[in-house]
Amino acid sequence: MPIGELESVAHALRQLGLALDEAEQHRRALSQKVLTLQEDERVHLARELHDEFGQRLTALRFDAAWLVRQVQGQPELSEVVQGMAERCAEVQRDVRNLLGRLRPLGPGESDDAPVSLTQLASLIAALVQGWRDTAARDGQVAYSQVVSLSDAGSPPVPAPASATDACWLPRGLALAVYRLTQEALTNCARHAQASTVDVAVNVTRVGETQQLHWRVADNGRGLAQPELALRKGNGLGGMQERVWALGGEWRMSGEQGVVLQASFQFELPVLAGTTDRASA
């Protein structure tokens, strides 16, 4: 083939590669927009629950407390009214827990406010504890959680609070890791039939660019066809899409239990009121 034609083919291939890269970036941006809209809807729902339902529940608890005082000395009525008051308190706790799941990071200073690894570890611990409490009632499942820090080339080391306090994550990444853990633990409880579930989060410090590695593994019945499971429902497929939208790497295996892994690269966020990047 003449050199001129080879150059034309090479130019066409380069243009095609650029077009594919642009299309992928566009699709990634759309995926991030969809995820943002989902979180915005959760925030809106949380606000409505807090402002409307929360106020009504508080008023109902005051009414129940008043009734408790009025029926003192009447054992049968007191037992019924006290039960009403306890049910109101339980519903209010359930609503508070739901608000926490809808808006786990709380009302940050801004949509870009960074999140410490300590806060993320605490949120994941609450998720794990919730399923641990359920397992204590419904069956024997052992849950474990490890949050660690490491330098490039060094093994992960469980991190004390003093270290995780100084390790900051972009808000979107912290929220993604929380949602991944939330979905993974739900899948384990519903489908895995496992006796152990392990959650691990590691941040590896590599200069200005950091790496976050997330892993949830169980020893349950596994997945005979992992790729089919990705296409079958919204759970695993949605998790993979969330990782991809943030430019992360997704890995899944289901031969001996299910192992879900995701890796992300990120730059140290800038803390409000400073010009220096947060140190990890």
Let me know whether 132 and 84 are in one domain: no
At residue 267, what are phi and psi to the nearest 5 degrees? -95, 150
Return d(Cα 16, Cα 210) in angstroms, integer. 32
Q: Per-residue confidence at 138, pLDDT binned at 50, 70, 90? A: low
Let me know whether 47 and 137 are in one domain: no
pTM of the model: 0.76
Let me know whether 99 and 120 are in one domain: no
Domain final residue, candidates 71, 103, 135: 103
Residue 69's domain comprises: 1-103
Q: Per-residue confidence at 233, pLDDT binned at 50, 70, 90? A: low
Q: What is the CATH number of the domain that holds 136?
A: 3.30.565.10
Let me know whether 124 and 241 are in one domain: yes
> Pairing relation of β-strands 168-169 and 259-267?
unpaired
Let me know whether 74 and 119 are in one domain: no
| Poorest-pLDDT segment among 7-11, 75-79, 170-174, 252-256 | 7-11
Let me know whether 125 and 263 are in one domain: yes
Q: What pLDDT is stored for residue 280 in this prediction?
A: 42
pLDDT greater at residue 33 or residue 166: 166
Let me know whether 232 and 132 are in one domain: yes
Let me know whether 99 and 119 are in one domain: no
Let me know whether 75 and 209 are in one domain: no
Classify residue 238: in a domain, yes or no: yes
Classify residue 2: in a domain, yes or no: yes
